[in-house]
Amino acid sequence: MRVYLGHLSLNDPLQGYLRDCILPQLTAAGREPRWRVYRVSAESDVYLYEDKWSGARVVGKFYARARGLNGSNAPQSAQNEYRNLEYVRSLGFTGPPDTVVRPLGANRDLGDLLVVEHVTGEQLDAVIAEAAGAGRSDRLFTKLSGLARFFARLHNGTAGGERVDFTRTQAYFERVLTYLGGQGMASSRRLDRLRELSRAYAARPEVWQDAQVCVHGDATPSNFLFGHGRDVCAIDLERMHRDDRVYDVGRLCGELKHCFMLATGNPARSEPFIGHFLWEYAGHFPDRKRAFDAITARLPFYLGLTLLRIARNHWLDDAYRRRLIQEGKAILKGGLA
């Protein structure tokens, strides 16, 4: 979405910050900038600023607004995301085929503001919608191959010696259940059964054995933009942290399942794309089959958790939210069979 709000007042403190600290990083301004302002998110305080004279565009995200549940436990601040973006770009994610958006500034005094360079590209949401509605499967397969490469490069390039701490993900799982219970979306009996399934996964050695890597932390379709072919640009790294690589992989697979279920009513329509994404991701390891087996063994927990997480969204129909919970439970149970 993009909603035009008018021009930024010349008396607004943000005017001086954008003029003096941000615009010089993009262009040599010959006159006082006049910023057109657009709201680009209905759920958070994110705005596009476009200078009328130079055409320069930047995106501002204000962290002062309260945020939702955060599975990473990462600090929710402009400075934290600024550091995350700088770090990943320092690994070489500065241009095609793998790019992370360029941060331009962070200012705690202006509503805890993060400013990043505006990037263009097609969102993964749109590509999924084309595949679900118009049957354009080839494009989605191509984009998922690029996304698999992006994740594999990020994860493999940041793997360390510390093992995964599954208790942190369990704690997030519990917070999601508590939220769903508080919203009346699941009975106490169902919540208790979901907790039993979580404990059963925690008893499995494989969920603890992989090395921690840097994960994007919010691998939803709106956070990835696509250019030519398999080029990928990632945005919104506020929840980046160290975790199991399947934290990202499972989240993306869960989002695919949700998108197809919402668009077509049939979650099975997502399976060819999920399988393709996983196989492409595993292809970036020396032993593709071994990597694929290890990832898919851990996948059901993170896939089920993602559907439960999506079910928190109040703008979805209650009946559909309950279906997400049912589907998530079935996936969690099936992964233990």
3-state DSSP of 46-98: EEEEEECCCCCEEEEEECCCCCCCCCCCCCCCHHHHHHHHHHHHHCCCEECCE
- Residues 26 and 166 both lie in one domain: no
- Residues 112 and 140 both lie in one domain: no
C-alpha angle 298/190/169, rounded to 5°? Answer: 35
Last residue of a domain, one of 96, 117, 138: 117
Q: Which of 179, 217, 246, 177 is nearest to 70 (CA)?
A: 217
The span from the CA of 212 to the CA of 324, in Å, is 29
- Residues 132 and 85 both lie in one domain: no
- Residues 186 and 294 both lie in one domain: yes
Q: Which domain range does residue 35 map to?
A: 3-117
- Residues 191 and 96 both lie in one domain: no
- Residues 140 and 219 both lie in one domain: yes
What does the pLDDT profile of the chain (337 residues) look like in tens digits?
789 999 999 999 999 999 999 999 999 877 899 999 999 987 789 999 999 999 999 999 999 865 555 666 666 899 999 999 999 999 999 999 999 999 999 999 999 999 999 999 999 999 999 999 877 899 999 999 999 999 999 999 999 999 999 999 999 999 999 999 999 999 999 999 999 999 999 999 999 999 999 999 999 999 999 999 999 999 999 999 999 999 999 999 999 999 999 999 999 999 999 999 999 999 999 999 999 999 999 999 999 999 999 999 999 999 999 999 999 999 999 999 8
- Residues 293 and 147 both lie in one domain: yes
Last residue of a domain, one of 76, 97, 117: 117
- Residues 159 and 112 both lie in one domain: no
Last residue of a domain, one of 71, 90, 117: 117
- Residues 156 and 191 both lie in one domain: yes
> How many CB atoms sit inside 10 A of residue 141's CB?
16
The structural domain count of the chain equals 2
Q: What is the DSSP letter of 330?
A: H
| This model's pTM is above 0.85 | yes
